[in-house]
Amino acid sequence: MIHVGGLVGGLLCGWLLAACGDDEGPVHCADVAGDATCAELHPDGSRPYCVRGWCDVSARDGCVAVLPDDPDCPAPCGAGETGGGCGETSSAATTSPTDATATSPPDTSATTSVDSSESAAADSSSTGPTGCVEDRECDAATPFCAMGACVPCSQLREPDAGCAGLDPDRPLCIDDACVQCSDRDTTVCTGTVPICDVETHTCIGCTQHEQCPASACQFADGSCLPEDRVFHVDGDAADCAGADGSEAAPFCTIAAALAGVGPAGRATLRIAATALPYLEPVAIGGDRIVALVPWSDASPVLDSAGVGSTLTVDGATVYVWRVRFEGSGQAPAITLTDARGWIDRTVVVLNDGGGIRVDQGAELHLRNGVIGANGTGLAARVGLDADAATFEVLYTTIAGNDGTGPASLRCTGGANGSIRNSIVVGLDPPSLQCAGVETSTSAIDTEGLGGADVLVLPAFVAGWFADPAGGDFHLVPETQFEALGVWEDGDPVVDLDGDPRPMRDGAVDVLGADRP
């Protein structure tokens, strides 16, 4: 017969050197003598019961105050003795702790008596531990120490709880690994990484406004704009006097909504499509960050009513999505001065004053958009006019613009940028004048601004588009633009109308804003 105190001492020193002064980590009672080990580890009697490791991962030594209901959890005798009064040892005394405390309860139907505690200690010492004592001994693939063995999170009784305890930033257990998020839980995804990539189970920044349905995506850092700073605008609303910007009481003008965005404020303006265009110039200045997006599926139409640009952004950041700018006669429809702008799925057409002007260090990202039929042959109007600024033109149609000079693109003051997967052709080719532009996989009407993957067009053809004179630059089927684009990772996943793009790196795609 083995004396309990001798077994505990022998096994603690034979199997778990930490108990003999090495302080490598906590002893687990199920690896030693069960309740007797808990009595020695907790002499005050606060945690007298021993349970197997998978029953309560928070009890690192396996000792608990109250036994759980699961009949397989208790390990009163530990690895070295039989049940009942724990007076005789089992064959577990001569096996490793890993074998004796496997996930399923050990088979004690056949037992072998051991003559002395010294024999048990000698046998266990010669065998040595084959598992672990604490989590830090385990590797990344199996980071949890349970019942003397390193296991993945899926083998824990409460997998998510185990992951949360190991790393609060990766609190979910999926396919044997601790991950950040899933389609069932995105709680940890906040700030500049508010979106869960359900394929990699990682939190990422937003790249589409649709990913922030309560506000809009702030592409500059990947965060969603504040959900509590959303103002609604409806020019057809009946009660303008009682407006507060809510859905129930929207503002009647865009200017009224902007008045609620303080200096350095961030806000989203949801603008309803109305029977007539919004006839007001919109000015956004200071350090504000503002998104102009539609309230419904229909795009609102903005017009300056003949007073300067329809949208003027000075020093601020603006996000424009699915808005139509039409009718500006005295100045470009949009002007960015020392500002940043992301203009997506937006149509800028039929503005005699020109399309978009960026100057004084402004930064423009123009994607899935149309700049068409702007300007007049009687004045120096330009579709995209860049002066000491930078620009990105991606999947955009700049076509049918007219002017006395380069009517599609003009660069001055060292302006530079890129054109890719786009169509750029004016009424009077050549219509591009920009030494600092890099052009690829596009169709343009100017020689010398691109390599072998750029198609040079001899002239503008109205028949390429549905109704260019009316501002409709949707492509008709079977044009030469249908197999010249190349979709790359990070490109827009839909076109001007929301039709899907290939979404496969290197896939052939259609040039311009529209996929017929």
Which residue stretches of 107-171 are H helix?
Answer: 117-127, 159-166
Contacting residues for 52 by C-beta, under 8 A, at least 6 apart? 30, 62, 72, 73, 74, 75, 101, 105, 147
Q: Which two tokens stand for residue 348?
A: 């800028």
Do 486 and 338 share a structural domain? yes
pLDDT in tens, 68-114: 888 888 989 987 655 555 754 333 333 333 333 333 444 433 333 33
- Split at pLDDT 50, 70, 90, the class of 21 is very low
Last residue of a domain, one of 131, 153, 173: 131
Predicted local confidence at residue 119, as pLDDT? 34
Q: Which two tokens stand for residue 302?
A: 């903005």
Do 237 and 119 share a structural domain? no
Whole-number Å distance between alpha carbons of 346 and 351 = 14
Do 455 and 307 share a structural domain? yes
Do 227 and 116 share a structural domain? no
The closest alpha carbon to 277, from 349, 210, 332, 207, belongs to 349
Domain of 111? 4-131
pLDDT greater than 50 at residue 23: no
Whole-number Å distance between alpha carbons of 399 and 383 = 8
Q: What CATH number does residue 255 fall under?
A: 2.160.20
How many Cβ atoms sit within 10 Å of the Cβ of residue 164? 17
pLDDT greater than 60 at residue 279: yes
Query: What is 64-82 written as a DSSP string?
Result: ESS--S-TTSB-TTTTTS-
492 lies in some domain: yes
The closest alpha carbon to 179, from 190, 194, 169, belongs to 169
pLDDT in tens, 325-368: 999 998 999 999 999 999 999 999 999 999 999 999 999 999 99
Whole-number Å distance between alpha carbons of 499 and 33 = 67
Do 224 and 118 share a structural domain? no
169 lies in some domain: no
Predicted local confidence at residue 81, as pLDDT? 58
pLDDT in tens, 443-480: 999 999 999 999 999 999 999 999 999 999 999 999 99
Do 315 and 457 share a structural domain? yes
pLDDT in tens, 122-181: 333 332 334 898 888 999 999 999 888 999 999 998 999 999 999 999 999 999 999 999
CB contact burial 466-504 (16+ within 10 A = b; e otherwise): eebeebebbbeeebebbebbbbeeebbebbbeeeebbee
112 lies in some domain: yes
* Distances 108 to 79, 111, 112, 173, 260 between C-alpha atoms, Å: 11, 6, 10, 33, 75
Whole-number Å distance between alpha carbons of 121 and 393 = 76
Whole-number mean pLDDT of the chain? 87
β-strands 454-456, 340-344 pairing? unpaired
65 lies in some domain: yes
Last residue of a domain, one of 116, 131, 146: 131
Do 110 and 222 share a structural domain? no
Q: Please compute the mean of the pLDDT values over residues 11-19 and round it to a whole number.
A: 36
Give 40's DSSP letter.
H
How many domains in the chain? 2
266 lies in some domain: yes
Do 328 and 239 share a structural domain? yes
Angle (nearest 5°) at CA 293 between 287 and 296: 155
Predicted local confidence at residue 467, as pLDDT? 98
16 lies in some domain: yes
Last residue of a domain, one of 88, 112, 131: 131
Q: Which two tokens stand for residue 49?
A: 């019961």
Do 459 and 325 share a structural domain? yes
| Residues β-bridged to residue 394 | 367, 420
366 lies in some domain: yes
448 lies in some domain: yes
Whole-number Å distance between alpha carbons of 75 and 17 = 21
* Distances 271 to 126, 215, 275, 440, 450 between C-alpha atoms, Å: 78, 12, 13, 35, 39
pLDDT in tens, 25-53: 567 888 888 899 999 889 999 999 999 88
Q: Which two tokens stand for residue 62?
A: 């396996």
Predicted local confidence at residue 312, as pLDDT? 98
Where is pLDDT greater, at 307 or 127? 307
* Distances 229 to 258, 270, 289 between C-alpha atoms, Å: 11, 11, 11
pTM of the model: 0.75
pLDDT greater than 50 at residue 511: yes
Whole-number Å distance between alpha carbons of 36 and 26 = 16
